[in-house]
Amino acid sequence: MTFTILLFVLTFIAAVFAVLAPRVLYAAFGLAVTSVLVTILLYHFHSPIAGIIELSVCAGLITVIFISVISLVKPTEPAQRSEVALVHYRKYVYLPFVLLLIGGLLVLAGHPNLSISLPPVVTGSVQEIFWNTRQVDLIGQVVVLLAGVFGIVILFREGVTK
């Protein structure tokens, strides 16, 4: 229980760092660290397959995508960095208050009434459920993947905006 809470706290701190980091590159690294911590949490909750996909796709691929996008845009001039950082921090002044307010309200609300009937357990392994029980979802997933691939090809194509 304590280890789980510690993991949640670390994940939250990494996410806040990703939001607060004055440079976008550091924010992307913060997001990668958040993904790694989410992976550890997934393993902790007995979800090794989801964990490995989170690690490879979110911590790996998405970080590469973010760094590629950052490298494609013009960086801030070194002289302007301190000013940009100041403006950036000023926007997040209210974030601790918002988080404290929401957290405080949730703590004050206490445990929710969980005397509801639990949904039926879907039997079978992850592979069986993924490939057999959720076949219709799989078709939609493949369509979304193809749409994403074609979208990326069109958007990243050189000269398309000229």
Partner 1 sequence: MSLQMLHLLYAAGIFLVLLIATGIYSILVTRNLIRVLIGLEIMSKAVTLAVIVGGYATKNMAFAQSLAITFIIIEVVVIAVAAGLVVSIYRQHNSLDTATVKLMKG
Q: Which of residues 126-145 bind partner 1 (CB under 8 A)?
A: 126, 128-130, 133-134, 137, 141, 144-145
d(CA 89, CA 16): 12
Selected binder of partner 1 within 79, 108, 122, 136 (CB under 8 A): 122
What's the number of CA atoms in the CB half-sphere (13 Å) around residue 65? 10
Selected binder of partner 1 within 81, 86, 99, 139 (CB under 8 A): 99
- Residue 15 Cβ, how far from partner 1 at the closest point, in Å? 5
- Residue 82 Cβ, how far from partner 1 at the closest point, in Å? 17
Read off the tokens for 78.
């070194």
Complex with partner 1: residue 79 or 109, whichever CB lies closer: 109
Task: Note whether 86 binds partner 1 by CB under 8 A.
Answer: no
- How many residues form the binding site for partner 1 (CB under 8 A)? 78
d(CA 57, CA 63): 9
Task: Note whether 148 binds partner 1 by CB under 8 A.
Answer: yes
Residue 129 DSSP SS3: helix
Contacts of 14 (CB under 8 A, 6+ apart): 30, 33, 34, 37
- Residue 79 Cβ, how far from partner 1 at the closest point, in Å? 19
Residue 159 DSSP SS3: coil
Tell me the C-alpha to C-alpha distance, in Å, between residue 157 and each of 133, 134, 151, 154, 162: 38, 35, 10, 5, 11
CA pseudo-torsion sign 39, 41, 42, 43: positive
What residues from 8 to 27 belong to the interface with partner 1 (CB under 8 A)? 8-9, 11-12, 15-16, 18-19, 24, 27
Task: Note whether 59 binds partner 1 by CB under 8 A.
Answer: no
What one-letter code names the amino acid at 157? R
- Residue 128 Cβ, how far from partner 1 at the closest point, in Å? 8
Task: Note whether 75 binds partner 1 by CB under 8 A.
Answer: no
